[in-house]
Structure 1
Amino acid sequence: MCRATADWFRTAPGTHVWLAVLAVTSAVAAGLSPDLRSYLLHHVSTNLVELRIHPVRVLFASAFWIETPSALLFYALVFELVHATAERWLGTVRWLMVVALAHVGATLVSQKAVLFGIRDARLPRSLAHTIDIGVSYGLAGVVGVLAYRVPAPWRWGYLLGVLAFFTYPVLHKGTFTDIGHLTAVLIGLCCYGLTPQAAAPRNSRAPGEPAPPA
């Protein structure tokens, strides 16, 4: 049992290191007073103010905090179902590339929507200082790229369900976070080039499959 558990963790190291960091930051956040926790999370948030002053720092740091520390067990389950599956399939480096592209791309698009909303007086100026942290954009991006892991014809049902799930909130007065989630899924779908199918040689064949005629 211990060896099987160790093998399980070893085959998706990035996922479990990320979870371990989230466990530490969640414990830290849970031990702070509400005012101090709010102060801390504002300074690791990818809101307009922090992105303008410390863009690299907050884009990195925001992925290691969750706004509700008590939700850690839920995220642990989702990480095992989504991130660990994708990391074992893609490999750690390519999985991390998908996560980073989705997290950064969706953050920038969603905050640009906030900027336009404030400029056009459709959103309150306080959103420029809002708390915007978490792992959901990277998670949504991986959900998107996993469409290529689902065999046909089930892939189309999976894809339709994912797009419907993330598009519905945007079309029904969704928040900037909903826009970010949909953007992240679309970024994940654009990552086909990182999948094993795309990396495989065109002339490769399954074991036992006869060679094409000369």
Structure 2
Amino acid sequence: MERSTTGPAHTSEPVPASRTLPGGAARAAPPPVLAGLLPTPAGTPFTVAYAAVLAVTSLVAALAEPGWVHTLHQDSSTDVAHLLRSPVPVLLASALWIAGGLLSPYAAAFVLALTALERRIGGVRTACVFLAGHVLATLATEIPVGLAVLAGRLPGTSLHRLDYGVSFGVAASVGALAGLLGPRLRWPLLFLAGGAVLDGLYDFEDPVTDWGHLVALAVGVAAWPLVRRWHRPAPPHGIGDR
């Protein structure tokens, strides 16, 4: 029997989400994929809170008197002298800055990597991965510097080299995130991250820091068994796992 088509038409198709602007005009919601790449207070509270802190310190670095900013950076530096004197405070203080400010590539990498990682393993565990990369890569680079100074291979000024920023934590987060992605995204991501690190080593402008990036990336990769146990299915609009 055929259905009658004389009655009011009904549809089961979902209505796209929209927001109402003042005056009654409708505004389309952001594309789901784009929304999944950006942090939100409810979905990624750790990333949002940390990004807010970094935004404040970056504004301070951009607007304050340069000499005062240099003093702040020096006091936050994870050099050998500071690590021997007050290791925990200086490791935490160092992670409050982005080298290059908000326009640095590390700022974009921070937001994208930590957002994707936090959506999959949660905020506390993301913080653990980030801190592991930040701390272990710092120690792996600064301890050899201290030993080289003791052996007379480096001058004493190397004990006070300026070293601060979130890049080690970001590198570890990228490495850990790769382990939660499917092969089609995992290997290109590692290729790009590893290529950037090796390019820095080739330029030899700051080999100690660049070796630290390589160590941090390896820390993230070494964490694959752990983060895979922590993994929870990502929302459909997140970075794909295929």
The TM-score, its normalising length taken from structure 1, stands at 0.79
Aligned length: 198
Aligned to 1:132: 163
Q: Is the 8 A contact 2:174 2:220 kept in 1?
A: yes
2:43 aligned with 1:11: yes
2:176 aligned with 1:145: yes
Aligned to 1:68: 100
Tell me how far 1:167 sits from its aligned partner: 3.6
Q: Give CA-to-partner distance per residue, 1:86-134, whole Å, 9 cap, x none.
A: 1111111111110010000001111113223333444332221122110
2:87 aligned with 1:55: yes
CA–CA distance in structure 1, aligned partners of residues 117 and 216 of structure 2? 15
Identify, as 1 or 2, the structure richer in helix. Answer: 1
Aligned to 1:93: 124
Tell me how far 1:26 sits from its aligned partner: 1.9
2:130 aligned with 1:115: no
- In structure 2, what residue type is equivalent to 1:124? P
2:215 aligned with 1:183: yes
Q: Is the 8 A contact 1:12 1:92 kept in 2?
A: yes
Q: Is the 8 A contact 1:42 1:131 kept in 2?
A: yes
Gaps of 5+ in 1: 201-214
Gaps of 5+ in 2: 1-18, 21-28, 232-242
47, 63, 67: which one aligns with 1:35: 67
The TM-score, its normalising length taken from structure 2, stands at 0.71
Aligned to 1:204: none
Q: Give CA-to-partner distance per residue, 1:20-53, whole Å, 9 cap, x none.
A: 1111122223333222211121111111111111
Q: Give CA-to-partner distance per residue, 1:55-96, whole Å, 9 cap, x none.
A: 110011110123433536x54432332111111111111111
Q: Is the 8 A contact 1:110 1:177 kept in 2?
A: yes
CA–CA distance in structure 1, aligned partners of residues 223 and 102 of structure 2? 32
Q: Which one has the largest radius of gyration?
A: 2
CA–CA distance in structure 1, aligned partners of residues 100 and 192 of structure 2? 27
